[in-house]
Amino acid sequence: MAPTSALSGADGQIRAAGVQGAFHADRRVVSEAVLLIDGREAEPIAHAAAGPGRSRFTSLARWLGDVQPDPVVRVDRLREIRAYGMAEEITIASTATMPVVMTVAMRVDCDLAAIETVKSGYAAEPVTPVGGELTWASGGTTVAMTGEGAEVHGRELRWEVALKPGESTTLCWRVMVTDPAAVVAAPAGPVEWTRPEVKATDRRLGRLVAQSLDDLAGLRLTETGHPADTFLGAGVPWFLTVFGRDSLWAARMLLPLGTDLARGTLRVLARRQGVKHDPLTGEAPGKIMHELRRGEFVVPVNGLRLPAAYYGTIDATPLWIGLLHDAWRWGLPEGEVEALLPAMEAALSWLATDADPDGDGFLEYIDVSGRGLANQGWKDSGDSVRFRDGSLADPPIALAEVQGYAYEAAVKGAAILDAFGRPGGDVWRAYAAAMATRFRERFWVEGGYPALALDRDKRPVDALTSNIGHLLGTGILNHEESARVASFLASPEMSAGFGLRTMSSADKGFSPLSYHCGSVWPHDTAVVIAGLARDGFGAEAAALAEGLLAAAEPFENRLPELLSGDARDAVGRPVPYPASCRPQAWSAAAAVVITHAALGLYPDVPGGTVDLRPMAGAPLGAVTADGFVVAGTPVSVSVDAAGAAEIDRLPDRFTVVTTG
């Protein structure tokens, strides 16, 4: 449970190698936790999730007890991640016909390594336990490992166990972390969203939603000192902190379940909105931050050095405006919206000033510090912006989807300004109209689709990528243009895998295991599903949704950060991407997006209407979600196998418009 997580092998052992460990707020607090019985490791036979933040590992001590084919000594480890650290119960049961005696030991260690050091594969400096006990301290963080009834022998917790025939015993040990320097903490209250009961013809959807909501509950965080505002940490283990883009997208995806998470996310980011120009951090007045860490984030392998509060993102600011508007439409109280209007006005101002340094009307980025992110859209790896021939584009870069976000932010910001009697609505509608015209003139390439970006020389970067799918639903495209984008996204070069490829397989830069040039990102696919469904391309949306549903089951319904973009008929089952975060907030939220897209519930709480616009023909079959929330009221929404939609328990003050 955030801000704590644990990575182990399928056997439950946390070994002193690679990226395994228990992590707390960007520090590895357990670097080894190996269970030994009589100095030997038991034989692992099973592992499974046991609920939010809980995992169970089962093994056998075959050398103990009767000599027979059936095992008689079973070991179950139930590991629970808690806000303060980790706890584990080790249950040993014997069905032997004779007494069994054993020495049980938990071999432990702690290196307090920074998360970026672990991710880069570098060895951490050893930390010596304090005072002969299993307690470690460094940089203000203290870690204590204790076992009930255990004796400490060096770096082991030991228990002497004797079991009579049919007996069992449970041993307990735990990790306690004291970390006053952490910038994030666990929320004290209940989960901020509903847990809808989802029933569908395709039962995979209900299973995916259930696991995803468990995972999302474990990613909840607050900023230290502000316990009332909850947001989602981006992902386990590398990004368990506030990330502007990731946290905003995840909150937006979960709006059908309530607006409290959106409120917390908006408030957290508004508190750290830029107020000055700082080339080192990327801060600018009105700009929404990219990420927050306890200190400088240093990655030795590539020279990346990000300050604790880093603003190197081109898209978080328009996405913040979009979330505020959409939360308002779903029922965020007017007082909450009004309190955030100064932040929204500052964010709008940034769109037309610092976001467009050369004044050409497009939002663009360049890392002027030389030590930050070279690319500052959601595809932020250094090689993600390529021409179709595989060559890299030179910055400054103006990404296609970011212009769509800016158009949408201007239109939605204008709607809020008008509704709250603030000036400027006409200005921002004019900005949006001009943006759409410029985009139409400059971004479309000879192949008949929008370019990935414009480069330093304003040349269209002509790779065919998933970025163009983010334009759907923003309003920057007309219907004919949307249809052309939809057809390209549905092509085998883009959609032959388990979801939407980030880059066409026909492009020279394509690689199915490239981070951003051919892999499949569930959140990216989900964003495009939402846009396709909203713009009336239900068949294309359903095909992508089916890809994610097919991918989910081999991953035990815990969709990873990304997976390989291999063609499905070539590999049969999804190929994992090494070092992918799992769970990942916006990947988990994709399950809600699929459900919402199928049902097509689009409320306008300030306007008193609810539009029911399910996917035409119900391409995902019959779907019911009992527990969506409109204006704070749980409702039940369903679409039958023929595509007819219904909504129950909606307050009388709303008018329902059914267009599906």
Q: What is the DSSP string of 487-528?
A: HHHTSHHHHSBSB-BSB-TTSTT--TTSTTTT-B-HHHHHHH
Mean pLDDT of 478-490: 98
Residue 122 has pLDDT above 80, yes or no: no
pLDDT of residue 298: 76
Nearest partner of 656 among 619, 602, 575, 592, judged by Cα: 602
Beta bridge partners of 114: 27
pLDDT of residue 52: 85
**Among residues 235, 174, 214, which one has the least CA distance to residue 26?**
235
Of 91, 117, 113, which is closest to residue 104 (Cα–Cα)? 91
Rounded distance between C-alpha atoms, residue 261 and residue 332, angstroms: 10
- Identify whether the C-beta of residue 7 lies closer than 8 Å to the C-beta of residue 19: yes
Which tens digit of pLDDT belongs to each residue from 588-608? 999 999 999 999 999 999 999
49 closest CA partner among 212, 159, 201: 212
pLDDT confidence tier of residue 560, bands split at 50, 70 and 90: very high
Q: What angle do CA 632, 633, 637 make, to 5 degrees?
A: 125
Backbone angles phi, psi at 128, to 5 degrees: -90, 135
Q: What is the pLDDT of residue 68?
A: 86
Which DSSP state fits 150?
Answer: P
**Measured distance CA(289)–CA(292) in Å, rounded:** 8
Locate 206 and state its tokens: 């209900």
Average pLDDT, the chain: 95
Give the neighbor-by-neighbor strand order of the sheet with 21-24: 4-7, 21-24, 27-30
Average pLDDT over residues 95-104: 97
DSSP 287: P
How confident is residue 302, by pLDDT bands cut at 50, 70 and 90? low
Q: Could you give the 3-state DSSP secondary structure of residue 114?
A: strand
Q: How far apart are CA 594 and CA 588, in angstroms?
A: 11
Dist CA 626 CA 248 (whole Å) = 25
By percentage, how much of the chain surpasses pLDDT 90? 88
Q: Tell me what pLDDT residue 659 has.
A: 67
The DSSP H or E segment spanning 230 is strand 226-232
Residue 166: closest CA among 116, 214, 228, 100: 100
Residue 60 and residue 54 in contact, taking contact as beta carbons nearer than 8 Å: no
Is residue 362 over pLDDT 60? yes
Digit-coded pLDDT (tens) for 499-558: 999 999 999 999 999 999 999 999 999 999 999 999 999 999 999 999 999 999 999 999
The rounded distance, in Å, linking the Cα atoms of 84 and 106 is 20
| Burial tier of 521 (Cβ tally within 10 Å: 0-12, 13-18, 19+) | buried
In this prediction, residue 105 carries a pLDDT of: 98
- CA 345 to chain CA mean position, Å: 27
**Which residues are within 8 A (CB) of 184 and not within 5 positions of it... i.e. 6 or more apart?**
2, 3, 25, 221, 222, 223, 224, 233, 240, 241, 242, 292
Q: Is 635's pLDDT higher than 90?
A: yes
pLDDT tier at 174, thresholds 50, 70, 90: very high
**Confidence check: pLDDT of 50 > 60:** yes
Rounded Cα gap, residues 520 and 27, in angstroms: 29
Average pLDDT of the segment spanning 105-112: 96
Q: Which residues have a Cβ under 8 Å from the Cβ of 260 and sit 6 or more positions away?
A: 192, 193, 230
pLDDT at position 131 over 80: no
Tens of pLDDT, residue by residue over 641-657, are: 999 999 999 999 999 99
Q: What is the mean pLDDT of residues 69-83?
A: 93
DSSP 115: H
Amino acid in the structure at residue 602: Y
Residue 660 has pLDDT above 60, yes or no: no
Give the whole-angstrom CA distance, residue 118 versus residue 124.
8
Whether the CB-CB separation of 532 and 489 falls below 8 Å is answered with yes
Sheet holding 623-630, edge to edge: 197-200, 623-630, 633-639, 645-648
The confidence score (pLDDT) of residue 191 equals 96
What structural domains does the chain harbor?
4-182 (no CATH), 185-622+628-639 (1.50.10.10)
Mean pLDDT of 371-388: 96
pLDDT tens digit sequence for 20-42? 999 999 899 999 999 999 999 99
User: Does the pLDDT value for residue 303 go beyond 80?
Assistant: no
pTM: 0.95
